[in-house]
């Protein structure tokens, strides 16, 4: 048995459960602060592993570590009272029966004296704060974990100092087959120009470059042909002319897309540098934008997961991944030969990314996600604000029970997606390397 792998999986699952627990605390604290009666706080689903009652709330852990919840009384408003003097309206349709059953379940724990402690009667802004508390906790946790990695451990930064200069040009597959250069291999433009390890690139085509990304973009945009490379060698400025060749490389702006660019053939020096709080903010902003873009393309991404699960196609490393898959990566980190400090850094960064993704996913404005309740609260606030401005009677509470059929359909879809991800993570997982 691969004990390091198993230990990594278990540790990562514990980290996920802690993240879920904090997410639910993000809901629990404002709910109690605003006087909503909370009957349960549970981490996990299924049968209860352990629980203890404190005051009016039961706190516990369940056996299936794939989520959690708090149970607040009165999530749905009762059926609106029919107007006096009119016949009681009724409906025997399947959707109406579903809605009425849900109302009964939501109100069955409401006791005499709880009229002002039900969720649906709270001001709209309190509802928004309660439901936003969970995702907000994930965002805070992600920020703290990224700060630990970037400011505590530091990250690898590519410098413009040349690390290696290969003698010839080889693709990754050719290098794997035979790393030794032969007369049949094309000479490296960098080696032909006389670049050496330790040289620092300061300009490309007469334009200064301050970091490796800027140097890479300048070299690529130069295309094939001669270009002047400004360097510092042993502290002395020099200019050499390199005859770049055209090579197909992955786009820097569109991962997965190949493009024909200028190629020099050098590797940069990487150093570990601790970052500032501003770098953490920038990192969070960049990942948030990329995560939002991925969520918008989720249906397309799930098609890729289906193809990977049943057609053997390669998994998209930037595609969706389930709890099993991300825990498996945690096991690979623990079983790798990397130094312990690197393992911890990667582990914490992965957990931070997971929290950011969970927070973003929960903000989708559809029930049963937190974003659906937030949208309902905001809509109620808009309606009540408009009524005050126009001096109209205060409108009724937003009745989210009316969209329960759509909610159940979305919940069913989410279960199918979770099952597909679980299967794909087992038969064709995303791996840390390769």
Radius of gyration of the chain (CA): 28
pTM of structure: 0.80
Query: Is 42 inside any structural domain?
Result: no
Query: Is 254 inside any structural domain?
Result: yes
Backbone phi, psi, residue 369, to 5°: -70, 160
DSSP state of 375: H
Cα 168 from Cα 91, distance rounded (Å): 78
- Asked whether the predicted pLDDT for residue 383 surpasses 60, the reply is yes
What count of other Cβ atoms lies within 10 Å of the Cβ of residue 141?
A: 22
- Asked whether the predicted pLDDT for residue 336 surpasses 60, the reply is yes
Cα 200 from Cα 205, distance rounded (Å): 15
Domain count, the chain: 1
Cα 308 from Cα 315, distance rounded (Å): 6
Mind telling me the catalytic residues? Answer: 24
Report whether 401 contacts 76 (CB < 8 A). Answer: yes
Query: Is 109 inside any structural domain?
Result: no
Contacts 24+ apart (CB under 8 A), 222-225: 222/262, 223/261, 223/262, 224/262, 225/262
- Asked whether the predicted pLDDT for residue 85 surpasses 50, the reply is no
- Please give the C-alpha separations between residue 43 and each of 10, 91, 334, in angstroms, as whole numbers: 16, 38, 25
What percent of the chain lies above the pLDDT cut of 90?
35
- Asked whether the predicted pLDDT for residue 405 surpasses 50, the reply is yes
CA dihedral for 22, 373, 361, 423, sign (positive or negative): positive
Closest of 166, 143, 174 to residue 265, by C-alpha:
166
Give, for 169, the enclosing helix (H) or strand (E): strand 168-169
Per-residue pLDDT tens digits for 106-131: 677 788 888 889 898 899 999 999 99
Structure tokens at 51: 């629980």
Structure tokens at 75: 């999530």
Report whether 263 contacts 247 (CB < 8 A). Answer: yes
Q: What is the CATH number of the domain that holds 255?
A: 2.30.42.10
Query: Is 320 inside any structural domain?
Result: no
CA dihedral for 137, 138, 141, 146, sign (positive or negative): negative
Query: Is 353 inside any structural domain?
Result: no
Query: Which structural domain range is residue 191 located in?
Result: 156-273
pLDDT band for position 83 (cuts 50, 70, 90): very low
Per-residue pLDDT tens digits for 351-360: 999 899 999 9
Query: CB-based contacts of 398: which residues, under 8 Å, 6+ apart?
Result: 376, 377, 379, 380, 383
Cα 12 from Cα 29, distance rounded (Å): 26
Q: Vertex 139, ends 66 and 145: CA angle to 5°?
A: 90
Per-residue pLDDT tens digits for 149-196: 999 998 888 898 999 888 888 766 676 677 788 777 788 899 889 999
Structure tokens at 368: 């049963």
């Amino acid at each position: 048995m691969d004990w390091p792998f198993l230990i990594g999986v278990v540790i990562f699952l514990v980290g996920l459960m802690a993240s879920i627990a904090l997410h639910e605390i993000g809901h629990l604290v404002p709910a109690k602060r605003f006087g909503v009666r909370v009957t349960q706080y549970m981490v996990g689903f299924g049968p209860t592993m352990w629980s203890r009652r404190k005051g009016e709330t039961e706190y516990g852990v369940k056996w299936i570590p794939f989520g959690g919840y708090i149970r607040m009384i009165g999530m749905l408003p009762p059926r609106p009272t029919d107007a006096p003097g009119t016949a009681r309206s009724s409906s025997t349709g399947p959707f109406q029966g579903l809605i009425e059953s849900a109302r009964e379940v939501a109100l069955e724990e409401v006791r005499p004296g709880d009229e002002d402690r039900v969720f649906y009667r709270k001001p709209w802004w309190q509802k928004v704060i309660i439901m936003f508390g969970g995702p907000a906790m994930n965002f805070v946790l992600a920020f703290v974990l990224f700060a630990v990695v970037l400011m505590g451990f530091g990250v690898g930064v590519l410098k413009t100092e040349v690390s290696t200069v290969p003698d010839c040009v080889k693709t990754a597959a050719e290098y794997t087959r035979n790393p030794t250069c032969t007369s049949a291999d094309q000479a490296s433009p960098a080696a032909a120009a006389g670049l050496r390890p330790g040289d620092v690139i300061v300009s490309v085509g007469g334009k200064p470059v301050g970091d490796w990304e800027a140097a890479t973009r300048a070299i690529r945009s130069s295309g094939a042909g001669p270009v002047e490379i400004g360097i510092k060698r042993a502290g002395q400025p020099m200019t050499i002319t390199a005859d770049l060749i055209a090579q197909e490389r992955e786009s820097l702006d569109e991962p997965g897309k190949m493009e024909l660019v200028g190629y020099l053939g050098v590797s940069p020096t990487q150093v570990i540098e601790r970052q500032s709080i501003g770098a953490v903010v920038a990192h969070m902003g960049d990942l948030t934008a990329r995560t939002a873009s991925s969520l918008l393309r989720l249906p397309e991404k799930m098609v890729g997961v289906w193809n990977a699960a049943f057609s053997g196609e390669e998994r998209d490393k930037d595609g969706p991944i389930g709890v099993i898959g991300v825990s498996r990566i945690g096991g690979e980190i623990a079983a790798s030969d990397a130094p312990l400090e690197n393992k911890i850094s990667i582990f914490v960064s992965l957990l931070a990314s997971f929290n950011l993704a969970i927070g973003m996913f929960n903000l989708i404005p559809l029930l049963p996600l937190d974003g659906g309740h937030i949208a309902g609260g905001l809509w109620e606030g808009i309606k009540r604000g408009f009524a005050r401005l126009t001096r109209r009677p205060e409108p009724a509470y937003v009745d989210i029970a009316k969209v329960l059929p759509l909610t159940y359909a979305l919940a069913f879809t989410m279960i199918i997606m979770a099952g597909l991800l679980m299967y794909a993570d087992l038969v064709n997982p995303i791996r840390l390397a390769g």
